[in-house]
Every structure is written in C-alpha cells, then in structure tokens.
Amino acid sequence: MIDRSVIGRETLSEAVTLERSRLRLFARLLGYPPDGVHRDLAAARAAGHPDLVVPPTYLAGLETETEAIYRTLEDVGVDLAAVLNGEQHFTHHRPLHAGDEIVFTTRVTDVYARGGGRLELLVRESAVTRAGELVAELRNTIVVVHEGAA
C-alpha cells in the first residue's frame, strides 16, 4: 500500500527545451494538417506566433520523458509493471512554442484506494513554467494494480 505521507511531496523541477522536429512529428502522428501552425513554421509566423505551436497534449508525453514520474513512483515503492494511466487533465494558460524552455514541477496531491484495496490511485499535479511564468497545469491519476488484494 502507498503511504499517504507522500501527499504533498514535490519532485525536483526539470527543465526541457521544446524541439521543433519533435513537435512536427507529434503533430503529424496526431493528424494535424501539414500547413497548420503545429507543423509549418511559415503558417505559425503568419498567425502571429514566434515558432511552431505546441499541440495541447504534447506536454503529457513530454513529461513522461522526465525523471519526475519515475522518481515519484520509485519513492513510494511502486512497481512500474503494476501501473496504468487512469486520467489526465490539462489547463493551458499561455501558448508554448518550439524553442521554449519549460520547467516541470510535480507534487503528489492525493492517494486513495478502490476495489477493496486492489487498486490504488496516486494523483500528481505538475506546474509547467516558462521563465518563471505558469503556462500550463497537468493533473494525472496513476492507477496501481495490486494483484491478489481483497
């Protein structure tokens, strides 16, 4: 069982630079048009953006490349093989663009059980900042499956 004392625990902040080529690939895989602001630099600039616009769900995938989620789960003794993604929520306050350096700061906000303890849910919230300004907030519920629990 996950010790509820982890609630409020914050992971170290991690800086990540948003790369144009990766944004293009992500947008392409999601079916964004090739002449749109997520894939075409000229279209983005014509629309008033300094560079390609980051697709709304890109941050969730990018966050999984940081150590924050793994550090959180390791700290509470969760086996990654027992983890499922339960829910994700995004709040965007400002547009992000290729070339921006952003910082993820993540904290555990809740831990609770369902199904007689067979499932534990760990809720994480991440603040995403650019040059100290809050630009997005992510909330992620991680489901931990305990085989054989009553």
Domain with CATH 3.10.129.10 in the chain: 4-18+67-145
Chain-centre distance of CA 34, in angstroms?
25
Quick check: 68 and 14 in contact, CB under 8 A?
Answer: yes
For residue 27, the Cα-to-chain-centroid distance in whole angstroms is: 16
**Torsion angle (degrees, nearest 10) of CA 74, 82, 142, 126:** 30
- Enumerate residue ranges in the chain where pLDDT < 50: none
The confidence score (pLDDT) of residue 64 equals 82
Q: CATH: 3.40.50.11540, 1.10.8.420, 3.10.129.10, 3.40.50.2300. Which one for 4-18+67-145? A: 3.10.129.10
pLDDT of residue 101: 97
- The pLDDT value recorded for residue 11 is 83
Instruction: State how far the alpha carbon of 148 is from the alpha carbons of 17, 69, 117, 118, in Å.
Output: 42, 25, 10, 7
Tell me, what's the pLDDT at 76?
81
**Residue 35 Cα distances to 18, 28, 42, 47, 144, angstroms:** 20, 11, 9, 12, 41
The residues, ordered by sequence, that sit 6+ positions from 19 with a Cβ below 8 Å of its Cβ are 98
Other beta carbons less than 10 A from residue 150's beta carbon: 7
pLDDT at residue number 149: 59
Under DSSP, the state recorded for 32 is -
pLDDT in tens, 18-57: 999 999 999 999 999 999 999 999 999 999 999 999 998 9
Report pTM: 0.88
